Amino acid sequence: MSQAEATVSNRSRISGAEIQQLLLRARAFIALFVLVIIFSILSPTFLTPANIVIMSKHVAINAILGIGMTFVILTGGIDLSVGSIVG
């Protein structure tokens, strides 16, 4: 095996530390995935199109407010009073 092939094969392997870092970064998505699996097992109507539409309608208002507040906070004009006004 030449030096170039050895270097490429060493780089293609993923170390345990890299896997641990990936799992730490993705832990929120992993938790969300686990919750979806649990709720779909517990309720057969959880992943139906009708239920997804209903959940989307309920989330829409908070999502729009959250996106708007993200821009306010990022520009430095931190104003968190929207929650008390809307809710």
Residues 25, 7: one domain?
Answer: yes
pLDDT beyond 80 at 87: no
Q: What percent of the chain has pLDDT over 90?
A: 47
Co-location of 37 and 64 in the same domain: no
Could you tell me if 40 and 63 lie in one domain? Answer: no
Question: What integer is the mean pLDDT of 14-27?
Answer: 90
- For the chain, the three-class secondary structure string (H helix, E strand, C coil) is CCHHHHHHHHHHCCCHHHHHHHHHHCHHHHHHHHHHHHHHHHCCCCCCHHHHHHHHHHHHHHHHHHHHHHHHHHCCCCCCCHHHHHC
Pair (82, 53) in one structural domain:
yes
CA distances from 70 to 2, 20, 40, 56 (A): 52, 29, 31, 20
The structural domain count of the chain equals: 2
Question: Residues 42-76: pLDDT tens digits?
Answer: 999 999 999 999 999 999 988 998 898 888 888 88
Per-residue confidence (pLDDT) for residue 12, from 0 to 100: 72
What per-residue confidence (pLDDT) applies to 51? 95
**Domain of 61, in residue numbers:** 48-87
23-27, 72-76, 78-82: least confident range: 78-82
